[in-house]
Structure 1
Amino acid sequence: MAVMTLRIPDDLDPSIRAAAAAVGMSLNAYIVRAARRQSVLDAAQQLSALGLGDDLAGEGDLL
């Protein structure tokens, strides 16, 4: 497992911590889930741009 240092703007920190707590997740798990979701969305958009993911086009945050 890789270890990364992540710098979060001071104004964003409280809302991320509160959101993680609200869903009963650790801060690390919450951030990993957000990064994983974004990487899936990015991949779907790349497939869509190539015309290979027409079934995924327009799904946005629903994935």
Structure 2
Amino acid sequence: MSVTTMILCVLDSLAPSTRAAASEAGLSVNAYVVRAVRRAATLDAARQLAGLGLGDDLAGEGDTL
């Protein structure tokens, strides 16, 4: 697996809650942020697919859009 290092700048006011949320999830801050980015990218892709108007074509084929 290839990994790219990125620098993330977070507001001082957001850092404590981010650290706390990561800890509560049992994750490192890095893993927590990567999970959040992955979720956002997945939702963006789902919105793009839904915008294509394929929902009617896929009706009855399992999960609906």
TM-score (norm 1): 0.82
Consecutive unaligned residues in structure 1, runs of 5 or more: 57-63
1:38 counterpart = 2:45: no
- Aligned with 1:29 (options 31, 48, 55): 31
Residue-pair matches, total: 55
> For the pair shown, which has the larger CA radius of gyration, 1 or 2?
2
Distance (Å, rounded) in 2 between the aligned partners of 1:24 and 1:12? 18
Aligned to 2:16: 14
Q: What is the CA RMSD across the aligned residues, in angstroms?
A: 0.8
Moved over 3 A (4+): none
The two structures have a TM-score, normalised by structure 2, of 0.79
Tell me the residue number matched to 1:47: 49
Higher relative contact order (CA 8 A, sep 6+): 1
- Which runs of 5 or more structure 2 residues have no equivalent in the other structure? 56-63
Please report how far the alpha carbon of residue 51 of structure 1 lies from its aligned counterpart in structure 2 after TM superposition.
1.3
Q: What secondary structure sits across from 1:21 in the alignment?
A: helix
Over the matched positions of the two proteins, sequence identity in percent amounts to 55
